[in-house]
């Protein structure tokens, strides 16, 4: 079955950087788009970014554009999120999610999430 395992979360100071990883198994990773979605404590779901199955297309929410970079290594079945210039508003659980198709047909399976806390 589909399994997505995120890692890389932790406590980081404002203005610093962090890289999240998501290792996928149970499906053909290179055949699906992948997303990052976040959820601030006690709040709703907030879509962050998507990357196409082949890594050639990316799209970001306005709130992270220019600061976050989504990438993938299909040889390692791994999705990444490089987060730069972090602020308090980026504090959240970050989920990776598998797309239903090649790029942008909605999120099907989700990982368990990794918590990022931005605090001085």
Q: Which residue ranges make up the site for another protein (CB under 8 A)? A: 35, 44-47, 50, 59-62, 95, 100, 104-113
Q: Which is nearer to another protein, 35 or 72 (CB)?
A: 35
Q: How far is the CB of 28 from another protein (least distance, A)?
A: 18
Q: How far is the CB of 73 from another protein (least distance, A)?
A: 23
Residue among 113, 84, 118, 108 at smallest CA distance from 96: 113
Q: How far is the CB of 61 from another protein (least distance, A)?
A: 5
Q: Which is nearer to another protein, 1 or 13 (CB)?
A: 1
């Amino acid at each position: 079955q589909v399994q997505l395992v995120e890692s890389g979360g932790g406590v980081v100071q404002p203005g610093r950087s962090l890289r999240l990883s998501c290792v996928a198994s149970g499906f053909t990773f290179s055949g699906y788009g992948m997303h990052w979605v976040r959820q601030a404590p006690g709040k709703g779901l907030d879509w962050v970014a998507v990357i196409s199955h082949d890594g050639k297309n990316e799209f970001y929410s306005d709130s992270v554009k220019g600061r976050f970079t989504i990438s993938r290594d299909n040889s390692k079945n791994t999705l990444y999120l490089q987060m730069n210039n972090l602020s308090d508003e980026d504090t959240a659980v970050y989920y990776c999610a598998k797309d239903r198709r090649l790029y942008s047909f909605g999120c099907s399976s989700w990982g368990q999430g990794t918590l990022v806390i931005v605090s001085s």
